[in-house]
């Protein structure tokens, strides 16, 4: 394949495709050069090194995922929004396992601040406002959702739920039901007065 037409964006997208095919850890400038049948040196005018390439793939993946989530959340609130968010997250991981792994890459503070990760946080907090959560409970809940989604998706991608009943989809639905119930009845801090029937968070 001729090197004419190579751009940073094209190489980033090709790197993302390669990540889905062989795994994010296997993506390097050398592997990308082989994909385009060019010398490695010819790519260095577009990407600095393999770490730079991986960072760009991570930023692309975060952007793609944020766009999908934003579209799915439009007009939804409460459990509908929570379910839409979670399903997009899971579907993206299943469709693009390499990109999903890239989205977990630890970015520099500068890259993180300029990334779509900020949009992910904002959308997660928008969902939680529908459950009447304020700080610091909102931050605790953001961490809970991230941990549950990532943990379940990672185990599922690794085949952990492939050889037992019930079906993974049934468990996923039950997990989302449980999260919705927990968010509606968010527990008071240890030692704080218990909730009463007048607490709006207990209302269905």
- Report, as an integer, the average pLDDT of 158-181: 94
d(CA 167, CA 198): 39
Average pLDDT, the chain: 90
Structure tokens given for 134: 């304020």
Residue with tokens 């468990």: 171
pTM for the full predicted model: 0.86
What is the largest distance, in Å, between two alpha-carbon atoms of the chain? 70
| Residue, of 127 and 200, whose pLDDT is higher | 127
- Report, as an integer, the average pLDDT of 126-155: 94
Interval 63-104: pLDDT, tens: 999 999 999 999 999 999 999 999 999 999 999 999 999 999
């Amino acid at each position: 394949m001729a090197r004419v037409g190579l751009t940073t964006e094209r190489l980033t997208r090709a790197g993302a495709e390669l990540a889905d095919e062989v795994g994010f850890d296997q993506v390097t400038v050398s592997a990308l050069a082989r994909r385009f049948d060019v010398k490695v040196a010819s790519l260095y005018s577009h990407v600095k090194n393999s770490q730079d390439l991986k960072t760009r793939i991570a930023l692309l993946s975060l952007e793609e995922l944020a766009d999908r989530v934003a579209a799915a959340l439009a007009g939804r609130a409460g459990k509908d929004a929570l379910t839409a968010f979670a399903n997009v997250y899971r579907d993206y991981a299943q469709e693009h396992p390499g990109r999903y792994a890239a989205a977990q890459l630890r970015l520099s503070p500068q890259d993180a601040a300029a990334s779509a990760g900020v949009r992910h946080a904002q959308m997660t907090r928008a969902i939680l406002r529908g459950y009447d959560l304020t700080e610091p409970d909102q931050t605790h809940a953001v961490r809970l959702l991230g941990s549950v989604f990532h943990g379940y998706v990672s185990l599922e991608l690794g085949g952990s739920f492939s050889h037992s009943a019930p079906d993974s989809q049934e468990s996923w639905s039950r997990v989302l039901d449980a999260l919705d119930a927990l968010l509606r009845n968010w527990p008071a801090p240890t030692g704080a007065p218990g909730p009463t029937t007048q607490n709006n968070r207990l209302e269905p």
